[in-house]
Amino acid sequence: MPEHFKNVRVINLAADQSRSGIDIFFERADQPPPGDPRVEKLRRDCEETMFVLKDVNPPDPAFGTMLNELLQGAVVGLKGPAFSVDAGQSQLDKVRNKLIRLARAERDAYLGRLLIVGAVFTSIALALAGILYFIVPSYLHDQTMLSAYRGALAWIVPVCLLHPGAALGVIFVGFVANRTITFEKIRVYDPYYFPPWLRFSYVAVVSYVLFAALWYKFVMLGVGGYLLNDVKADPAGGLAIGLVCGISEALIVELLISRLKPVERGNA
């Protein structure tokens, strides 16, 4: 059998010899044969698995054990004239399955953080809404000011309700997207790699912009039989707006960017 790689070994390019510099080096044969797609795929898979192993960064001795197992799979599958791609792939699959099991624990921790941050996010918003709606009016004795304030509550209340809706949508999408873990999804729990607090903040900003666009009728948007523009008359619509943004933020952002463009209406 023709030799593709004459040596496969672990190297460390980090100046401090830390894990970040560890890699598997594949040394080509002096006169390698034409490229074999299965051989090249196994090499790329080994390199990718090495990257994920460093990214997951399990504690010792688990890291060293999986590194040795990965190296053994690369050696058996690619080194020398007696290599066996099938045997190397089998060993690689075992390492990847171990990484998936480790990722499940990390996934569970991420979803737990998502729930905690969402609960805090929602509690603060609802507490603020309660203060503004029930407590603040009792301190306003001037009827003119009280009347103006009650008018302002028409948008203050739905803005506060955006947050629990957004939190519910984000948590729903987070659980649905991460209900199963594959090797390709390890550590990709958020499509933008946002931590939970940043994900909630981002969706909240999108919700504010959509709320303004609906309030001023820059866009007309509905879900099922409910028109989100009715938020002016139905403050609870803020919850629906936040929920829509939490679940479909990518579509909402694309819609807002395409619609919120000023158009010349005539000469000054």
Report field, pTM of the whole predicted structure over 0.75 = yes
Distance of CA 209 to the CA centre of its chain: 21
The answer to whether 80 and 3 have CB atoms below 8 angstroms apart is yes
Arithmetic mean of pLDDT, 213-241: 94
| pLDDT at residue number 60 | 87
What is the residue-wise DSSP string for 254-268? HHHHHH------S--
| Torsion of Cα atoms, 202 then 205 then 210 then 216, to 10° | -170
Domain-wise residue ranges, the chain: 5-83, 104-259
| pLDDT at residue number 136 | 95
| pLDDT at residue number 187 | 80
User: Over 70: is that where the pLDDT of 134 sits?
Assistant: yes
Instruction: Write out pLDDT tens, residues 29-74.
Output: 998 899 899 999 999 999 999 999 999 999 989 999 999 999 999 9
Angle, vertex CA 68, rays to CA 65 and CA 73, nearest 5: 125
- In which band, very low, low, confident or very high, does the pLDDT at 263 lie, cut at 50, 70 and 90? confident
The answer to whether 197 and 163 have CB atoms below 8 angstroms apart is no
User: Over 70: is that where the pLDDT of 266 sits?
Assistant: no
Q: What percentage of the chain exceeds 90 in pLDDT? A: 89
Place of tokens 């001795």: 61
Instruction: Write out pLDDT tens, residues 136-168.
Output: 999 999 999 999 999 999 999 999 999 999 999
Instruction: Write out pLDDT tens, residues 56-66.
Output: 999 989 999 99
